[in-house]
Amino acid sequence: MRALALDPRNRGLVQASRLILLSGGVFIWWLCTTMEWLPPFFFGDPIVVAQRMVGWFISGEIFLHLYTTLLETLLAFGIGTALGLGVGLWLALSPFFAEVTDPFLKAFNSMPRLIFAPIFALWFGLGIWSKIALGVTLVFFVVFFNVFQGVREVSPVVLANTRMLGASSRQLMRHVYLPSAMSWVFSSLHNAVGIAFVGSVVGEYLGSEKGVGYVILLAEGVFDINSVIAGILLLTIFALLLDAAVSFCEDRFMRWRPEAGQTVGATA
């Protein structure tokens, strides 16, 4: 989710408000479990959760699991994005094939793709590729439909004027179709990051020997709610870091896009 343009003078206030909100939520959690208004056995203890996370990094036992999950996530994210972008552009520019494949794509998209996890485990084994395959199926449609819609939303007037100026098909792709699709692509990528994590963790739940999802599954088996929450928070932190990386790339590739509230060609 991209925020609206904000006055730079208010950014410090925004950061302080976020810190207050986070601190307040953690304090309420700690107070409720300390006073036993919420049973710590079911809701955990924020202090123990923090100690568990720090202990994982000090001992180094989490690094292999974290590396495995991040590798699965990044590969699923990259492959799913590339396929979604390529197929979305192709079908958006090929009305005949778009009509032919439309019912098949809609049918496959309507399936609850998480049920394919055990099938992928049979096909690709319990290694990382079964998790990557699941993540790709989740990421692909998020990117595909946004790219497809973004290209189809190109203004016919812009296309006609560009063709009148003598633009070739390659120039149309570079200067009209891709810029139109990129706004939709980056919008979908922010959602795709979290979805790629979902595919990796669900796959690890169903069968694996390493990964953060595997660590969470083991903790659930012994009713260690603090380790479960610590694993979830760890995944959340790295999902936010990947989302920040997507935002950084978006700012670099979308410099031509005017900030919200600005008017193209406006003068001071």
Decide if pLDDT at 136 tops 90.
yes
Decide if pLDDT at 24 tops 70.
yes
CA distance 230 to 62: 11
Mean pLDDT of 143-154: 82
- Side chain identity, residue 134: L
The tokens for 49 are 């959760």
This model's pTM is above 0.75: yes
56-70, 159-173, 235-249: lowest mean pLDDT where? 159-173
Mean pLDDT of 252-263: 57
What would the CATH number be for the domain defined by 63-253?
Answer: 1.10.3720.10
The whole-number pLDDT of residue 155 equals 65
CA distance 245 to 248: 5
103-132 pLDDT, tens digit each: 898 888 888 887 888 888 888 888 889 899
> Could you tell me if 233 and 49 are in contact, meaning their C-beta atoms sit under 8 angstroms apart?
yes
Residue linked to tokens 């395959």 = 133
Closest CA to 76 of 29, 39, 37, 124: 124
Mean of all residue pLDDT scores within the chain = 82
CA distance 65 to 141: 27
